[in-house]
Amino acid sequence: AAVVEHTFHVGNLTVRRLCRSKVITAVNDRYPGPTIDVHEGDTLVVNVINDSPYNITIHWHGIFQILSAWADGPNMITQCPIRPGKSYIYKFTVTGQEGTLWWHAHASLLRATVYGALLIRPRQGTQGYPFHQPDKEVPILLGEWWNPNLVDVANQAFLTGGTPNVSDAYTINGKPGDLYPCSKKHTYKLEVEEGKTYLLRIINAALDNQLFFKIAGHHFTVVAADASYTKPYKTDVIVIAPGQTVDALMVADAAPARYYMAALPYISTPNPPPPRPAFDNTTTTGIVQYKSALPSLHPVMPTMPSFFDNAVAFRFFSKLTALCRTEDRTVPLHVDERMFITVGLGLVACQPTQSLCNQTQGALAASMNNVSFQFPTTMSLLEAHFKGVKGVYTADFPHKPPVFFDFTNASVNAVPALQPLMFTSQATKVKKIKYNATVEMVLQDTAILGIESHPMHLHGFDFFVVAQGFGNYDQAAAEKSYNLVDPQMRNTISVPTGGWAVIRFIANNPGVWIMHCHLDAHLSLGLATAFEVENGPTPESTLPPPPPDFPTC
């Protein structure tokens, strides 16, 4: 195994998009940022030098970080931010996972422009991929673009007590595509040759939207998701939540021509407003160009699902199964810790500093088990855990919500007795877990302020997706549908709209690990909690001390 070294200079970069120039925060003057390419077993050393005017951290999304929790990166969870002018070396070994992951900023809204692909190839000297060797590999990073400065966008959301303004464009590899104004030059192009096989490594780096992705005239065979191999799954549409990745093979077997690839949002709220046309400024496009086709040909458009197609989304999310190759990826049958966790939106009283907040309604908040997570301000959770500092957090995150609002009932507004449920508490509560315990979590969407699909991401672990469904979770009925044979492994699960998902993981990695909604707007509203995993009995199961350059507050 090798040591792979990178230097990330985080700084200002001027780019032109949507008819205007804008200064963004970027890594090594590139947007999206550099691709990291490693083999399983390699050690990655990334020196992050912050030349930007903002506090920043980098998170290696989906990396297990075995005994290296100090390198995980979420701001105020595992570290204090790297201040302007300072640096921090993230060092960790990539073991036990292969496929596509990514890295992104984990402070404020900076991940909108500070992100890149992290490719993990099979260990050198092994058999290689468990599928047809592709002729070419192609990272496809789906993102979002804002015309205004992102720090202003975040501040505005805070002042109003609402969610940030929606973005101005979706992007493929940083480019909106030619359906947007002034974007002909900013259209991603993929040149293909007839008969060749392409491995598309698709990443949803968008801040606040799940996406549908298609390529006209072509099918995909999904072979991995979230850097875990899946049984080959054929589909013509990819559904991908923020944080997730999908590896899909595409054979260039269509008539030699030009084809659009397109991504548009999957909007999971029911009772949709009238559908917009399939192609408007919510659709990002790229062009698949056959080498032998005339570049003047007009590209063929794919037929996209409607914005609100919960059925297409659920089919994709629930049909994937694991390609069971190794012993260590079998689902645990015994459960040590059972938790029932609601995820949803709620309200809190406006703070005095939220000058534009609606005083009678309150500010928007989001919660798990009716606790809206408050980020600590003096010290990261991991540092407090390691040093035994009291007062930074409490270890009493509830196993169950205090009351669970049945989403099949009428709106909470119509039932006076339920109205207090709209208000969530705010605290920094974590759940303590014994080393190597098996945790089962039922994640249940609530209907307190409408229902919606939340992409829940767990740091430090992959989990087995044992079951998922719509409505209220009913253990007896749900258990009949548990897949304990070949459930897919994920680091991010899109909990069905007005529904539930059951996940299991083994807490075999000491540290403090955040779990949160990967819609950035919901993370900042408190849709998060953290797991404090104790040390095991041996030095091999004990978290070592932080590195010497570890950023403190």
Residue ranges that bind ligand C2O, judged by CB under 6 A: 59, 61, 74, 104, 106, 243, 457, 459, 514, 516, 518
Give 186 or 490: the residue with its C-beta nearer to ligand C2O: 490
Give 307 or 393: the residue with its C-beta nearer to ligand C2O: 393
CB of 339 to ligand C2O, least distance (A): 19
Give 17 or 59: the residue with its C-beta nearer to ligand C2O: 59
Contact 95, 64 (CB under 8 A): yes
CB neighbourhood size of 365 (10 A): 23
CB of 62 to ligand C2O, least distance (A): 8
Contact 512, 530 (CB under 8 A): yes
Residue (of 353, 437, 32) closest to 161 by Cα position: 353
Give 290 or 397: the residue with its C-beta nearer to ligand C2O: 397
CB of 106 to ligand C2O, least distance (A): 6
CB of 329 to ligand C2O, least distance (A): 22
CB of 458 to ligand C2O, least distance (A): 9
Cα separation, 478 vs 471, in Å, equals: 11
Instruction: Return the structure tokens found at 539.
Output: 């030095």
Q: Is the peptide bond before 32 cis (omega within 30 degrees of 0)?
A: yes
Cα separation, 92 vs 69, in Å, equals: 9
CA distances from 72 to 4, 61, 92, 98, 459 (A): 17, 8, 9, 18, 8
Give 59 or 258: the residue with its C-beta nearer to ligand C2O: 59
Give 74 or 510: the residue with its C-beta nearer to ligand C2O: 74
CB of 115 to ligand C2O, least distance (A): 9
Give 115 or 220: the residue with its C-beta nearer to ligand C2O: 115
What value, to the nearest 5°, has the Cα angle with vertex 318 and ends 469 and 462?
100
Give 230 or 244: the residue with its C-beta nearer to ligand C2O: 244
Find residue 203's DSSP bridge partners.
141, 245
Residue 234 dihedral angles phi and psi, to the nearest 5°: -90, 135
Phi-psi bin for 62: left (phi > 0), alpha (psi -120 to 50), beta? left
Contact 64, 77 (CB under 8 A): no
Residue (of 213, 316, 308) closest to 268 by Cα position: 308
CB neighbourhood size of 394 (10 A): 11
Cα separation, 61 vs 65, in Å, equals: 10
Give 235 or 372: the residue with its C-beta nearer to ligand C2O: 372
Element housing 269 (H / E)? none
CB of 161 to ligand C2O, least distance (A): 23
Element housing 528 (H / E)? strand 528-533
Which residues contact residue 209 at a Cβ distance below 8 angstroms, ignoring those fewer than 6 apart? 144, 170, 242, 265, 266, 267, 519
CB of 121 to ligand C2O, least distance (A): 21
The residue number whose beta carbon is nearest to ligand C2O equals: 61
CB of 111 to ligand C2O, least distance (A): 7
Q: Are strands 238-240 and 210-215 parallel, antiparallel or unpaired?
A: antiparallel
CB of 347 to ligand C2O, least distance (A): 24
CB of 457 to ligand C2O, least distance (A): 5
- Alpha helices by DSSP H, listed for 275-387, are 310-319, 381-387
Give 25 or 283: the residue with its C-beta nearer to ligand C2O: 25
Give 74 or 265: the residue with its C-beta nearer to ligand C2O: 74
